[in-house]
Amino acid sequence: MKNKTEMNTQAFDDAIEELLSGDLNTNQAQELQQAAASDQAMATAIIDAWTIRRGLDELETEAVPPALEKRLLAIPSQHAPRKQWFAWLKPANWQAGPSWAIGSALAMSLILAIGISRQPNPAEIQQAREDIQVALAYLGKSLNQADQVTRDELSLQVQKILAGQQHRPAQNIEGDTRIEPESIDL
Amino acid sequence: MNQRFQNMVKLHQNRVYTLAAYMLRDRAEAEDVTQDTYIKLWQRMNRSDEEVSRAWLLRVARNACIDRIRKRKPITDQVPEVGDHRDPAFRMEQDQLGKWLKDAIAGLKEPYRSLIVFRDVQQHSYQEIAEMLEMSLSQVKVYLFRARKQLRSKLPRAETV
């Protein structure tokens, strides 16, 4: 093997790395070692490279401090998941909505799917019309009930407020001016 | 999902922390980067069912380290001081060599620094490193070679002083 001064620098460095990585065959390794025996610069470079490799091999991974591990494990409880605009499409999120609305929507989509997939006969069309009327009536009734509950609740709350204000006079900054409750038109 | 997250913590926390510690040479910052990385992991796990790999985790951690390094003072290519190597009989002991190497690795530029940590400290395969750094296999080998060569050129020797 040529000595360092005769060798291309890149080839020389490559040969050292290959030697240390075990990529040189026995003959090539022996040639390099023999060349290094008569070439001080080459020998020094090999020793340096070997020293670096030895040091790198001894470097150890760092262990996470226990306090940090605790913080890492607590992340799910401290960081709420990010909501995405299409999250409601995921079936897992359907439970959050009113069940009657989901049921109605599914029924409606089923009817549409059946209607699209095949041509119905006149009797089926008539039956579907009646079913839709029943469904719509049911939906309307549900909405009316919900509306009535809301109105009742609102009325009750207003009555409570009015009653409270009649028994407990409000005061302005000056102290004793009574404020008459305004009439609320429901 | 929570269980998957806990597993990712248990399995890879030391790798993430080691990478950050070697790159930043600052334990407090390494802890911050590790925590930030796992917060991103948790948010990603919530966003999609896509499997999150170790390579993804380490890539995020590395990018966070690079961001922090950029915010520091400009990089100086200085050689770390090690003991009194004017002594002709100077020879680095293993402990001393280890400390010198850690400083020298932190002083390398990217991607050399990450490559040394991934390959020589964490023993990742070339293939996995290529995935993490989004490089080809041959690029990984060439850059790793250059990184080691840079370390070698910085190694203090008694006869050169």
**CATH code assigned at B120:** 1.10.10.10
Residue B36: pLDDT band (50, 70, 90) is: very high
**What is the C-alpha separation between A22 and B88, in angstroms, rounded?**
32
B82 assigned to some structural domain: no
B161 assigned to some structural domain: no
Two structure tokens written together for B14: 């030391």
pLDDT at B85 over 70: no
Interface residues on B facing A, Cβ-Cβ cutoff 8 A: 2, 5-6, 9, 13-15, 17-18, 21-22, 27, 30-31, 34-35, 38-39, 42-43, 46-47, 92, 94, 97-98, 100-102, 116, 120-122, 145, 148-149, 151-152, 155, 157, 159
From A27's Cα to the closest Cα of chain B, the distance in A is 23
By C-alpha distance, which of B74, B41, B153, B43 is closest to A45?
Answer: B153
pLDDT at B20 over 80: yes
Q: What is the pLDDT of residue A176?
A: 42
Boundaries of domain holding B150: 87-156
Of A49, A61, A65, the CB nearest to B152: A49
pLDDT at A16 over 70: yes
Lowest mean pLDDT among A60-69, B86-95, B101-110: B86-95
Tell me if the pTM is above 0.80: no
By C-alpha distance, which of B99, B139, B106, B97 is closest to B19?
Answer: B106
pLDDT at B57 over 80: yes
Boundaries of domain holding A166: 122-170+177-183
Q: What is the pLDDT of residue A111?
A: 63
Among B43, B73, B103, give the residue marking a domain's end.
B73
ipTM: 0.79
- The string of DSSP codes covering A123-172 is HHHHHHHHHHHHHHHHHHHHHHHHHHHHHHHHHHHHHHHHHHHHHS----
Among A41, A58, A75, give the residue marking a domain's end.
A58
Q: Do A72 and B102 touch (CB under 8 A)?
A: no
Residue of B nearest to A50 (CA): B152
By C-alpha distance, which of A117, A113, A115, A147 is closest to A129?
Answer: A115
pLDDT at B139 over 90: yes
Q: What is the pLDDT of residue A84?
A: 59
